[in-house]
Structure 1
Amino acid sequence: MIALNPKEFGKVGVLMGGRSAEREISLMSGNGVLGALLSRNIDAHAFDTGMNDLSALAAQKFDRVFITLHGRYGEDGTMQGVLEHLGIPYTGSSVLASALAMDKEMTKRVWMNEGLSTPRFHMLKSDSNWDAIAHDLCLPVIVKPSREGSTIGLTKVTNVSQLCKAYENAAAFDTNVLAEEFIDGDELTVPVLGVGTEGASAARSLPIIRILAPDGDYSYQNKYFKDDTRYECPPPLSMCLQEEVQRLVLQAYRVLGCRGWGRIDLMLRKRDNKPYLLEMNTSPGMTGHSLVPMSARAVGLSYEDLVLEILSTATLDLYMNTLGKLQ
C-alpha cells in the first residue's frame, strides 16, 4: 500500500546514469522518476552512480532508493548487492533475480526447464560452425549480446554469410553472444507489478502492448528518440489470447523470482498465435517513450502514482534481513 504521508518514505535516492551502454536512457528515466517524486512532496534526490563512488552513496544516508539504472552495473545484480551490503531498501528484483534476468542465456534455460515457451538458441563463438547453426535454427535468426538491453548489438541475420559479422558486432558488447530462432509475428510487451509469489501481494500484469515499429525494426532509435513506432494498448487480440499471454508472463516472472516490477517482451507467432518469451527487464525504462507508464495509463494509473507504487515496494532480501537479526 502506498504511504499517504510523504515523510513515511524518508530520504529517497533516485539512482540513475551509471556506466552501461544505456546511460543516456537511464538519465532520462531517472529525471522522470525524480520529477514525479518531487511533485508528490517526497524528499527525493538524484544520485548518478556513474559520477559518484560507493562511499558517496553511503554518505547520503538514503532511507530507500528507486533504481532507474539500465543494463550493467545497475540492472544486473551488482548495485543490488551494494545496497544489500549498505542496508538500503531498493526497488525491483533481488541480487539473484536481477543477475539471472540480465543474462538472456540463463533466463532462457530457466524458462525452458520450466516448460515455458521461448525461441530455441545457440551460444556463439568466433569459431562456431555457422552453416550448422543456420541449418538448425533456420534463417532468419537474431544475434545479440546475452547481457545487454535496448536492442544494443542486435542483428537480424538473413544469410549465413552474415553470421560471423553479426557475432563480431554483438561480441563488441559482451563476451557471451547468442543466436536465437526468429519468430515471425507481432512483438508484445507486458509490464508486471508486485511480488512473484502467491498471496495478497502477488504480482499482477498490466495491459499488453503491441509494438508496431517501422518495417518491424524496433531499434534503439525507434524505441527512444523517434515517434514513428505505433503502440496498441490493449491490442486487438481476443480476450482468451490476452489471458493466455498474461498467464505466461506471470509464470515467467515468478520462476525467475522477480519482485517489485518489471516488463517481459514476447513474440506472438503469426501462424498459430503462440506466444514466445524473449527477455525479462527488471529495471525498465521510465522515459516519455517508455512502455510501463503507457500500459499503466491504460488502467488509469498515472505516472506519478505508478512511481509511488513501485517506490512503496522497496525492500531488502528476506535472507539478508534474517541474517542481520541473528548478528
Structure 2
Amino acid sequence: MTDRLHVAVLMGGWSSERPVSLMSGNGVADALESLGHKVTRIDMDRDVAAKLAAAKPDVVFNALHGTPGEDGTVQGMMDLMGLKYTHSGLVTSVIAIDKQLTKQALVPHGIRMPGGHVVQSESLYAGDPLPRPYVLKPVNEGSSVGVAIVTEGSNYGNPIRRDAEGPWQHFDALLAEPFIKGRELTVAVLGGKSLCVTELVPKSGFYDFDAKYTDGMTQHVCPAQVPDDVAQAMMDMALAAHQALGCKGTSRSDFRWDDTQGVDGIYLLEVNTQPGMTPLSLVPEQAKHLGMTYPELVQEIIDEAME
C-alpha cells in the first residue's frame, strides 16, 4: 500500500452520462476510503476549479464520462492548475472522444476500423449516405448515446423522415459507418497490458445506453468464448490503440467481430479513455477475472497518476 493520499474524486458533470459518472465516482471514493485514503468528492459544476483549488488534493481521480470531463477540457484545466490526475491527458482525450479523429490516428498504425465519413444530419432527409444497413452515431458521445442502426426495414423511413426519432434530431453532424454484422466485444488495458476479452450479449436488440447500465439487460461473457487467435488479436489491437493514442491509466477498446471472417473480421469501433467504474462496468469485471479486487484496481490507477 502506498502512502495515505488526499484524493479528490471528480464526478457528475452535465453530460448525458452524468448518472453513470456519479455511480463510478462514488464507487471509486468508497474504495479509496476503504484503503485509508482521504477523499473529497466533487460533483462537477462551473465552479470546479475553485473547488479543486480549495481541496488541494495530492491527486484527482477523474471519474467523469463524456464532455467536458473526457474531451480534454477538464484535463487542460487541471494541467493549468498543476494537478496530478488519473487517466489520459489533454491531447489524447481530444483525439479519443472524436471518433473520426481516432480513425485518423489509428488506421495508419494498421488498426482495422470501419470506413465511413461525417455527414450533416440535414442531408439524411434527402437520401442515405451509405448503402443500408449502416450505423449513424454522434462524433463525440460515449456509452452508445444516440446510435441508430439504419436497415432496409427500419421504421425511420426511406429516406429518413424528419419526424422519426433518432440522433439526426439532436446532432447537426453524425458519423455514418457501414454496419459490421457479428458480435460485440471489449478489451480493457491497464498498466501497459491488455486484461482479457468480454463479449456483450444484450438480452434484446442492441447494446445501447440502457442495455449498458441496467442490471440484467446485458449478459457479460468474461472471458469471451472466442478462438484464442481472435482473443489475442483483439488484445494486441487494444494495447496498440492505447499506446498509439498515448492513453494513461486504464482504457477500454470496443470491437465488432464478424465471426465468419476469423481474425480478419475484427474491427475496432472506439477507445474509451475513461471507462466506467460502476458495479456493472467492464473494466472492474475484467480485473476481477484476473484476481484483482476493485480497490486494488482503483489503487493501480492512482499509482500510475502519481508516477
Q: TM-score scaled to structure 1, two decimals? A: 0.86
Map of 1:324 onto structure 2: none
Give CA deviations for 1:48-95 in whole Å, capped at 9, x if unaligned: 112743222211111101110000010111111111111110000110
**1:185 equivalenced with 2:182 (yes/no):** yes
Match of 1:150 among 143, 151, 164: 143
Trace 1:8-19 onto structure 2 (pairs within 5 A). Answer: 10-19=5-14
Are positions 1:176 and 2:173 aligned together?
yes
Tell whether the 8 Å contact from 2:121 to 2:174 is kept in structure 1 after alignment.
Answer: no
Matched, 1:229 2:229: no
Q: 1:306 aligns with which of 274, 280, 297?
A: 297
Summarize the Cα distance change of 1:145–1:15 in structure 2 as closer, same or farther, 3 Å threshold. same
Percent pairwise identity: 38
Unaligned runs of 5+ in 1: 195-202, 317-327
Q: Is the contact between residue 122 and residue 168 of structure 2 (CA under 8 Å) also seen in structure 1?
A: no
The 5 A counterparts of 1:202-281 are 203-273=192-262, 274-281=265-272
Matched-pair contact (CA < 8 Å) for 1:124–1:167? no
Normalised by the length of structure 2, the TM-score is 0.92
Q: Does structure 1 retain, via aligned residues, the 8 Å contact 2:212–2:218? A: yes
The structure 1 residue matched to 2:112, chosen from 117, 138, 155, is: 117
After TM superposition, give the deviation of residue 103 of structure 1 in Å.
0.4
User: Structure 1 residues 286 and 167, CA, compared in 2 at 3 Å: closer, same or farther?
Assistant: farther
Q: 1:29 aligns with which of 10, 24, 30?
A: 24
Whether 1:133 and 2:126 are equivalent positions in the alignment is no
CA contact (8 A) 2:137 2:174 kept: yes
Shift of 1:315: 5.0
What letter corresponds to residue 122 of structure 1 in structure 2?
Answer: H
Indicate if the aligned counterparts of 1:167 and 1:177 stay in contact, CA closer than 8 A.
Answer: no
Task: Name the Cα RMSD after superposition.
Answer: 2.0
- Residues of 2 paired with 1:297 and 1:226: CA distance? 18
Contact 2:162 2:169 in 1 (8 A): no
CA shift in 2, pair 1:132/1:225, >3 Å: closer
Q: Which sections of structure 2, spanning at least 5 residues, go unmatched?
A: none
**Cα 1:270–1:14, aligned 2, differ >3 Å: closer, same or farther?**
same
**Separation of aligned partners in 2, 1:172 and 1:39:** 45
- Secondary structure of the structure 2 residue equivalent to 1:314: helix
1:95 maps onto 2:86 in alignment = no
Q: Distance in 1 between matches of 2:61 and 2:222?
A: 26
Q: CA deviation at 1:168?
A: 7.8
Q: Distance in 2 between matches of 1:167 and 1:124?
A: 17
Query: What's 1:320 paired with?
Result: none
Cα separation, 2, equivalents of 1:94 and 1:164: 40
Pair 1:227–1:132, CA change in 2 (3 A): closer
3-state SS of 2:40 partner: strand
Aligned ranges 1:287-306 → 2 under 5 Å: 287-306=278-297
Change over 3 Å in CA distance of 1:25–1:177 after alignment to 2: same
Q: Partner of 1:215: helix, strand, or coil?
A: coil
d(CA) in 2 for partners of 1:110, 1:85: 26
